Amino acid sequence: MADVFTVTEDAYADQQGRRVRVAVLGNSENGELAEILLNTPGGQNRSTGAGAVNGLLLRDPQTNKLREVLPHRRGFAGGVMAPFANRVRNGLFNFGGEQHQLACNWDEVETRITGNGQHAIHGLLPQELNVSNRDATSRDARLTLTASFDGSYEGYPFLVNVAFTYSLGFDGFAIEVAATNVSETGLPAPFMVGWHPYFQLEGAVSNAVVAFDRRTTYNVSEPIGPGPAGPKRDTHPTGLALPSDDFTRGQPLGDKYWDDGFKATASARAVPQLETRIHDHPEGWEPAPIVLWQDGQCRFIQVYTGMRDLGVVAVEPMSGQTDCFNNGDGLVVLQAGETWETAFGVRLEG
């Protein structure tokens, strides 16, 4: 009997004629699939290249039809980010008594990635990751991609190996992360990871509801200079964390520009897995809620509506706060030889 799940490779030309290589995790019985980028079609790999989720189709239990949960081959993807996620202010941080300068690739005023920006954003993953394992059984399809930070990256002279294991099973899609400090000289390493999924909505973004897990309360990080654009924009935290019920009251996203970071205040023991629900409200039908889950190592969530014109909202699980390389909130310090792990994923609620 053939296995239900499969792992295959495919290639296609994107809208700009660039060759895109992907791995496809599939369910041969119901047509569900998760597509993972194996290369970076252009530019830096800053959450849109190798390792990014280039589409997720799941069968909606409300309609029994395949649904595009994450945009499939639409020219932007939900990337994994390491050894830091979101931003490092001015690309500068101190660690182990030394100052480190990352390449600044984020223009905060124009809100775009550039070669000459004010801040560092979305990590340092290379343009291609190594395929270290693929496996398909009657239970799930799995793919593991790895990368090594070998001390040669500008501003990050640390030795860390990271593995991302993607899986598609009967209970949805998941990403497991394992980071190991491979220093042989005892040098510790700062580390953070995040995922930047864009959830595809059938209805208007303004009508969608993002509902945080109500088993905990949340703080919102006060930004230095909030706002969607302009010379006063600076979304790095001031250091103040204020109680927030923005996403626990069930109100629609509305027309407000969101690019805000939140932290669950309950302990990982009290709430070992956070679950955020995205309720889509298209006219004439009610899709099943999208459930984004993240384990106890990821207590932070970023909500971003800067691409609402494409009908998507980003809800990002993160292991630390924006700029945690400076503020320390959620920063993982890997001792030599130490491995740290986390996981997050998506399902449709039946």
Task: Give me the pLDDT at residue 230, please.
Answer: 77
Q: Above 90 in pLDDT, residue 145?
A: yes
Q: Indicate whether 1 pLDDT > 60.
A: no
pLDDT in tens, 34-82: 999 999 998 888 888 999 999 999 999 999 999 999 999 998 889 999 9
Binning pLDDT at 50, 70 and 90, where does residue 115 land? confident
pLDDT for residue 250: 87
State the pLDDT at residue 194. 98
Structure tokens at 322: 């924006």
Q: Determine which of 23-32, 132-141, 227-236, 324-333 has the lowest per-residue pLDDT on average.
A: 227-236
pLDDT band at 111 (very low <50, low <70, confident <90, very high): confident
Of the options 3.30.559.10, 2.70.98.10, 3.30.70.260, 3.40.50.150, the CATH number for the domain spanning 5-348: 2.70.98.10
**CA–CA separation, 9 and 206 (whole Å):** 37
Provide the percentage of residues in the chain whose pLDDT is more than 90.
87
Residue 2 scores a pLDDT above 80 = no
pLDDT at 130: 97
pLDDT digits (tens, 9 = 90+) for 175-206: 999 999 999 999 999 999 999 999 999 999 99
Query: Rounded CA gap, 7 and 24, in Å?
Result: 6
* Predicted local confidence at residue 272, as pLDDT: 98
Amino acid letter, residue 224: I
Kindly report the number of other CB atoms within 10 A of residue 186's CB atom.
9
Asked whether residue 229 carries a pLDDT value surpassing 80, the answer given is no
CB atoms within 10 A of CB 305: 23
What does the pLDDT read at residue 231?
78
